[in-house]
Chains A and B, each alone.
Chain A
Amino acid sequence: MSSNLTRRSVLRGTAVAVAGAALAVPAAAAVANSAAPAMDHSGHEGHEGHDGHSGHGPQPFDETYQGRHIVGQPAMGGHMAHHGGFAVTIDGKELHVMQNADGTWISVVNHYQTFADPLALTRAAVDKLRGAALVPIATA
């Protein structure tokens, strides 16, 4: 299951943008750990940057992936702090992300599949968007 997902992610990366192929590899490797249905994330416990309960937040990032500008950074206050203290944008538009109790992450575009860290989560969202822009959704 995991290797299947890995191969798919890489293939899609190369199909969408040749320049992004190299970038797709680390994302796919990170995603492979969290591919459904395997939900055993015990291997992540204590990994610095992966465990929201250790006091160290996830690594910030600011890069171009598949032609999209993705930024992830610690967030203070508001609902983002409530959801793990980390804020992500794709081309300047917020990607709603949330941390699970086991330290893994989900986003509003991959809401039923867990990822090891916000960077892997964000790259997966870019893959899924296929160039589409995020739009804000009104919350109650």
Chain B
Amino acid sequence: MAVRKNQATLTATEKRNFVSALLELKKSGRYDEFVRTHNEFIMSDSDTGDRVGHRSPSFLPWHRRFLIQFEQELQRVDSSVALPYWDWTADRTTTASIWGPDFLGGTGRSRDSQVTTGPFAYATGKWNINVSVDSRPYLQRELGSAVRQLPTRAEVDSVLAMTTYDMAPWNSASDGFRNNLEGWRGVNLHNRVHVWIGGQMATGVSPNDPVFWLHHCFIDKLWADWQRMHPTSPYLPGGNTADVVDLKDTMRPWNNVTPADMLDHTAHYTYDR
């Protein structure tokens, strides 16, 4: 059973193995399929139409399933690897070790936002951006530029305190835990982190940046934390909701998994705390 750890606690070997597995998936072409899938959902999920991956109740179970699939691909390369999570309330500066040259590399240079340090720098020849919205083939970041501050622990706690999972109209206008966590409403947690990183992370092809997985792993952990705090609060809606994935509806693109199947993560992995 994989144990997902806080990235700040990884050993040098664990970091190296994680990075190597990412580079191997990139080389084989499997990595870019995940980028393409994510972008297809982000472009088609809409507030007034069918919505599965984002701006809807299934944001959390959809990304949980997406991360499990990605983690399985990593483990096919190296069975010792598990997804780490990035607690951006704690490791919140541009000089945090997550951005070190031995892990994800740092922010982009000012001229063109190109990441030039670490294993995902363009000059390594191992991390070309192939699934893109524009013509630039290199990883970009502008840490802390478009928005200055990452969410604080107090802001996270204020969202974890919300007792209702989601509410009508089940989209970016909803109140409740899911939409406040996703960030279309309220203090803005998940969305703000994408914007803080900038570069591809601010776009529909955000999984081009490996930090995508560490960010969403923490979002996934916050969902698990919320479930533990509110054991009697169910996934909503329970059924018969147009354009929205109800508890027992299957989710695209897998079509064989429902939110109900994703409620208990411990069948797939556990967290270190």
Contact = CB atoms under 8 A, between A and B. Distances in A.
B204 A101 contact: no
Interface string B136-154: 1000000001111101000
B183 A39 contact: yes
A37 B46 contact: no
Give the secondary structure class of B's interface.
loop
A113 B202 contact: yes
Interface string B159-193: 00000000001011100000000011111101110
A130 B145 CA distance: 15
Contact of B195 (A8, A99, A113): A113
A35 B148 CA distance: 10
Given A98-B46, A112-B183, 15 more contacts: A36-B146, A37-B147, A82-B48, A101-B47, A102-B172, A108-B133, A112-B191, A112-B194, A129-B134, A132-B134, A134-B135, A135-B132, A137-B39, A137-B43, A140-B44
Interface of B: 36, 39-40, 42-44, 46-49, 55, 112-113, 131-136, 145-149, 151, 169, 171-173, 183-188, 190-192, 194-195, 202-206, 253
B202 A134 contact: no
Given A100-B184, A110-B203, A36 B147 contact: yes
B133 A137 contact: yes
Contacts of A82: 46, 48-49
Given A36-B192, A139-B44, A5 B169 contact: no
B135 A132 contact: yes
B49 A135 contact: no
A112 B202 contact: yes
A100 B191 CA distance: 14
A47 B63 CA distance: 35
Contacts of B194: 111-112
Interface in A100-123: 100-102, 108-114
Contact of B147 (A35, A98, A140): A35
B113 A135 contact: no
A133 interface: yes
Nearest to A8: B145
A37 B183 contact: yes
A50 to B, nearest CB: 15
